[in-house]
């Protein structure tokens, strides 16, 4: 019987969630849902020096906003709890000690100053930053170079130490990656990574293997920056006797800067004026705010859709997918090997398309909140729905509804007079006086009828409609934008329309 698919996302709570991290979540989630499996969130907080208060809660909030809720997590619990590595600390030492007994790992007692002097001593032009590996191992203070008695004495005296993996010499470690096919590494090039730190906390290398085994993870998807660590992890699965339970690996391509030169970073976003985090992130204790996609007005549907297409496609020209469609269509063999350039204009296109295709009811709570934050009170539900339906095609971000909808709820206080004055004359002044009378007499206030009557009146005064439509728009809106001018009049009503025409006529 095939094993139940179990995937995991295992972030460190050290700051904001980069869109590359969210894409890793998304691919995990899509694969799990498609295969009828479980999606696990595990918090990797073993590096207590980098732990940032609030970062874990931020991760939960991001996943909730994206609609990518895990089946098991520190919040939700589950059969393999605890899901926070710091709460699993006591588990790891036994596995590290087992590796020492088997000769696959060793105790290292080197002090920080001894490590510094080793890096100086072995530095050459070809090797400017020497690693702790098989070439220097026997010249350092560890249980490979010391006698059994010396090692036992240091342990009995509680001398601070770490446990390092003993990388084999002259071996090739090979595994199959779901995206890259067969991948091989020569062990000569890999250092003896620390598995257990002096404070008893495991490093990522040991913890990820132990936790994936104990939590029965079947597939491990992570960014390609973890590829150089994979020989260490493959050997640990083998050395711990769990090789047959090793998950299938997939190392996802990087999300690149817009010019394609290197991995997209927060600095690139700051420099080029777009977010790289899912949500706003403020560094605790400072006012350093990094903007997020949520706060600049992205819909989660658009954000997820855009991320899915950064490094994957379904082989057709289709670009707009709901989450359910992505679950149906997603497959690992269509994930690209090469990095994907981030294009903010394309990201905006996705958001614009999603705003256009969203139901009015879906947009209404967000739009109402955004308008009210700008001091625009919205009391009439039906009117708000009508306005959203009318202007949503013009909005790229939720915030755009402020400019595109404000004038439906507030009388303009400023007008683009420069657009009217050069061609303004007494005939137009008189014409708009007649327009006010015409509007006041209307009993059937319908956009199409108003337009018909306005054009007839212009024809009777021998004025081209085009010459008076722009002034009418500026009277109602304040500027040269917005949907059909008679649609606007139809929504704001007779009294308000007459008031706005009179207001500007007085100014002119």
Residue 418 is part of a domain; what is its CATH number? Answer: 1.10.10.350
Residue 21 in any domain: the answer is: no
Whole-angstrom distance, CA of residue 428 vs CA of residue 435: 10
- Model confidence at 448: pLDDT above 90: yes
Q: Can you say whether residue 458 is alpha, beta or left, with left for phi > 0 and alpha for psi between -120 and 50 degrees?
A: alpha
- CB distance 192 to 137 below 8 Å: yes
Q: Which three-class secondary structure state does DSSP give residue 252?
A: strand
pLDDT at 287: 81
- 183 in the same domain as 136: yes
- Model confidence at 504: pLDDT above 90: no
What one-character-per-residue DSSP string does 40-51 give? Answer: EE-B----GGG-
Of the three residues 410, 425, 449, the one that is the final residue of a domain is: 410
Q: Which three-class secondary structure state does DSSP give residue 214?
A: helix
Q: What is the CATH number of the domain that holds 351?
A: 1.10.1160.10
Q: Which residues contact 70 (CB under 8 A, 6 or more apart)?
A: 9, 39, 40, 41, 63, 76
- CB distance 254 to 227 below 8 Å: no
The tokens of 125 are what? 């032009």
Whole-angstrom distance, CA of residue 508 vs CA of residue 498: 16
- 364 in the same domain as 308: no
In this prediction, residue 2 has a pLDDT band, given cuts at 50, 70 and 90, of confident
**Stronger pLDDT, 470 or 127, i.e. the higher one:** 470
- 385 in the same domain as 468: no
pLDDT at 48: 80
- 337 in the same domain as 372: no
Whole-angstrom distance, CA of residue 276 vs CA of residue 295: 12
Whole-angstrom distance, CA of residue 494 vs CA of residue 487: 12
Backbone angles phi, psi at 72, to 5 degrees: -135, 140
- 415 in the same domain as 395: no
- 182 in the same domain as 158: yes
Q: Find the mean pLDDT for residues 418-444.
A: 92
Of the three residues 190, 210, 230, the one that is the final residue of a domain is: 210
| Residue closest to 97 by CA, chosen among 214, 210, 246 | 210
**Stronger pLDDT, 302 or 465, i.e. the higher one:** 302
Of the three residues 376, 410, 444, the one that is the final residue of a domain is: 410
Whole-angstrom distance, CA of residue 325 vs CA of residue 327: 5
Contacts of residues 363-368 at CB distance under 8 Å and 24 or more positions apart, as own/partner, are 363/388, 363/392, 363/398, 364/388, 366/299, 366/398, 367/398, 367/401, 367/405
Q: Which residues are annotated as a binding site for ATP?
A: 266
Residue 159 in any domain: the answer is: yes
Cis amide prior to 248 (ω within 30 degrees): no
Q: Can you say whether residue 136 is alpha, beta or left, with left for phi > 0 and alpha for psi between -120 and 50 degrees?
A: alpha
Residue-wise pLDDT for 27-86, tens only, equals 999 999 999 999 999 999 988 888 889 999 999 999 999 999 999 999 999 999 999 999
- 377 in the same domain as 306: no
pLDDT at 488: 96
pLDDT at 505: 86
CA distance from start to end of the chain? 83
Q: Find the mean pLDDT for residues 314-326.
A: 97
Say how many domains are in the chain: 4
Sheet arrangement for strand 172-177: 38-41, 6-9, 219-223, 248-252, 172-177, 181-186
SS3 content of the chain, % helix, strand, coil (to 5): 50, 10, 40
| Residue closest to 402 by CA, chosen among 446, 449, 367 | 367
Residue 157 in any domain: the answer is: yes
- 198 in the same domain as 128: yes
Residue 217 in any domain: the answer is: no
Residue 327's Cβ-count burial label (10 Å; 0-12, 13-18, 19+) is middle
Average pLDDT over all residues of the chain: 95
Residue 507 in any domain: the answer is: yes
| Residue closest to 171 by CA, chosen among 238, 223, 84, 113 | 238
Residue 258 in any domain: the answer is: no
- 189 in the same domain as 105: yes
Residue-wise pLDDT for 340-375, tens only, equals 999 999 999 999 999 999 999 999 999 999 999 999
Q: Which residues are annotated as a binding site?
A: 266
Q: Just list the catalytic residues.
A: 266
Whole-angstrom distance, CA of residue 270 vs CA of residue 361: 34
- 204 in the same domain as 106: yes
Lowest mean pLDDT among 212-226, 234-248, 290-304, 415-429: 415-429
What are the strands, taking DSSP E only, across 44-119? Answer: 105-108
Expressed as residue numbers, the domain containing 272 is: 266-357
Q: What is the CATH number of the domain that holds 155?
A: 3.90.800.10
In this prediction, residue 285 has a pLDDT band, given cuts at 50, 70 and 90, of confident
- 477 in the same domain as 379: no
- 342 in the same domain as 450: no
């Amino acid at each position: 019987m095939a094993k139940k698919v179990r995937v995991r996302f295992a972030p460190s709570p050290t700051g904001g969630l980069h869109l590359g991290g969210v894409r890793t979540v998304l691919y995990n989630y899509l694969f799990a849902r498609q295969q009828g499996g479980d999606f696990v969130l595990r918090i990797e907080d073993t590096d207590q020096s980098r732990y940032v208060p609030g970062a874990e809660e931020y991760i939960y909030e991001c996943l909730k906003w994206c609609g990518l809720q895990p089946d098991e997590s520190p919040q939700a619990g589950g059969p393999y709890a605890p899901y926070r590595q710091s709460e699993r600390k006591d588990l790891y030492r036994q596995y590290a000690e087992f590796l020492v007994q088997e000769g696959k790992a060793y105790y290292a007692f080197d002090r920080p100053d001894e490590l510094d002097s080793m890096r100086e001593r072995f530095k050459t032009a070809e090797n400017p930053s020497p690693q702790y590996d098989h070439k220097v191992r026997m010249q350092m203070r560890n249980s490979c170079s010391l006698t059994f008695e010396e090692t036992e004495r240091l342990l009995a005296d509680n001398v601070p130490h770490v446990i390092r993996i003993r990388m084999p010499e002259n071996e090739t470690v090979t595994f199959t990656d779901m995206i890259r096919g067969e991948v091989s590494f020569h062990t000569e090039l890999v250092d003896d990574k620390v598995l257990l730190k002096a404070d008893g906390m495991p490093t990522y290398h040991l913890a990820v293997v132990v936790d994936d085994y104990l939590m029965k993870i079947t597939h491990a998807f992570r960014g390609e920056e973890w590829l150089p660590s994979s020989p260490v992890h493959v050997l640990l699965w083998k050395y711990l006797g769990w090789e047959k339970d090793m998950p299938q690996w997939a190392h996802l391509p990087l999300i690149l800067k817009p010019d394609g030169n290197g991995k997209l970073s927060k600095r690139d976003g700051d420099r080029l004026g777009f977010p790289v985090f899912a949500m706003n992130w403020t560094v605790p204790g400072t006012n350093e705010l990094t903007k997020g996609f949520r706060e600049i007005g992205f819909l989660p549907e658009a954000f997820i859709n855009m991320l899915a297409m950064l490094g994957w496609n379904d082989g057709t020209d289709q670009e707009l997918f709901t989450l359910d469609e992505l679950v149906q269509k997603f497959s690992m063999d269509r994930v690209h090997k090469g990095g994907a350039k981030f294009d903010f204009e394309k990201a905006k296109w996705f958001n614009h398309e999603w705003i256009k295709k969203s139901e009015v009811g879906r947009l209404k709570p967000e739009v109402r909140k955004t308008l009210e934050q700008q001091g625009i009170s919205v009391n009439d539900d039906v009117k708000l729905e009508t306005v959203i339906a009318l202007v949503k095609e013009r909005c790229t971000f939720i915030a755009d509804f402020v400019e595109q909808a404000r004038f439906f709820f507030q009388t303009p206080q400023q007008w683009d007079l420069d657009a009217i004055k050069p061609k303004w004359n007494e005939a137009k002044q008189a014409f708009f006086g007649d327009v006010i009378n015409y509007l006041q007499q209307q009993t059937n206030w319908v956009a199409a009828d108003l337009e018909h009557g306005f054009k007839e009146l212009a024809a009777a005064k021998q004025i081209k409609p085009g010459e008076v439509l722009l002034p009418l728009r500026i009277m109602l809106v304040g500027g040269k934008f917005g949907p059909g001018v008679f649609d606007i009049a139809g929504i704001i009503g007779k009294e308000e329309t007459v008031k706005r025409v009179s207001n500007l006529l007085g100014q002119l």
